[in-house]
Homo-oligomer: A and B are copies of this chain.
Amino acid sequence: MKPTIVRNIKRADAGVVKQLGAMGVATVHEAQGRTGLMRPFMRPIYPTARVSGSAVTVLCHPGDNLMIHAAMEQARAGDILVVTTVSESTDGMFGDLLAVSARSRGVVGLIIDAGVRDVADLTSMDFPVWSRAIHSQGTVKNTPGSVNVPVICAGAPVNPGDVIVGDVDGVVVVPRERAAEVLKLSQDRLAKEAKSRERLASGELGLDFYGLRAKLAELGVQYVDGET
């Protein structure tokens, strides 16, 4: 694949992106049919990290952050860098200088299937990052890669301009074209869950609420009494 930097990608509506962030990862994942979720090894560097934004994708050689610099020029306010490497790596490709640069561009967060460092600084800055590892290992700037091409990041396909939502539950990707629809579905789900929460809080069992008693019987689950 010839190394390529794509300029001027399309993004989802900023209002939709913002509201998707308020929905949370689990809700969005459910609302869009349980797709788009990254693997559970992607963890926030501090537990209150929470973000939504438009993906600027970055495909790097392992141990090489050259293309993150190239990506910065393509990023706009509200974007999130989504960085992955050609093969698995935990190197610390991103630290406080890049975060300063990112913030000056309006970049609102980083999703990186590799390592990150200067975590104390990033936390002080409240610059949210989800990564595979925290590692100080330095990187070089020698090998080309691509910006704003489709990538697989932590098991999830990401296209440039897709909406990224991250919180303590992980990271989910919403295809750009589906953003408004998924927002609506997420809002519906939250509304429905609010009602369910009330009934469950009042002591109603999920067995009754979801009508599972018949299912258990049909599946041949037997009830027996314990030793008394």
The distance in angstroms between the C-alpha atoms of A39 and B134, with both chains bound, is 10
Given contacts A2-B220, A196-B97, contact A26 B205 (CB under 8 A): no
A144 touches B4 (CB 8 A): no
A206 touches B4 (CB 8 A): no
Please give the number of chain A residues whose Cβ is less than 8 angstroms from any Cβ of chain B in the complex.
103
B63 touches A25 (CB 8 A): no
Chain A contacts with B in 210-228, Cβ cutoff 8 A: 210, 212, 215-216, 219-228
The distance in angstroms between the C-alpha atoms of A3 and B221, with both chains bound, is 5
A52 within 8 A of B: no
Q: How far is the CB of A131 from chain B (nearest CB, A)?
A: 10
A200 within 8 A of B: yes
Given contacts A6-B225, A30-B138, A205-B73, contact A91 B87 (CB under 8 A): yes
The distance in angstroms between the C-alpha atoms of A160 and B115, with both chains bound, is 29
The distance in angstroms between the C-alpha atoms of A170 and B119, with both chains bound, is 10
Chain A contacts with B in 91-112, Cβ cutoff 8 A: 91-92, 95-98, 100-101, 103-105
Chain A contacts with B in 1-22, Cβ cutoff 8 A: 1-10
The distance in angstroms between the C-alpha atoms of A115 and B29, with both chains bound, is 15
Given contacts A115-B40, A169-B135, contact A207 B69 (CB under 8 A): yes
B200 touches A6 (CB 8 A): no
A191 within 8 A of B: no
**A–B pairs, 27, beta carbons within 8 Å:** A1-B34, A3-B221, A4-B224, A6-B224, A7-B224, A7-B225, A7-B226, A8-B225, A8-B228, A43-B134, A46-B47, A61-B140, A62-B87, A62-B89, A63-B64, A63-B87, A66-B216, A69-B210, A70-B212, A89-B89, A96-B197, A101-B201, A104-B202, A117-B169, A119-B168, A119-B169, A148-B226
Using a CB–CB cutoff of 8 Å, the interface residues on chain A facing chain B are: 1-10, 24-26, 29-30, 33-35, 37, 39-40, 43, 46-47, 61-64, 66, 68-70, 72-73, 86-92, 95-98, 100-101, 103-105, 115, 117-120, 123, 133-138, 140-144, 146, 148, 152, 155-157, 160, 167-170, 172, 193, 196-197, 200-203, 205-207, 210, 212, 215-216, 219-228
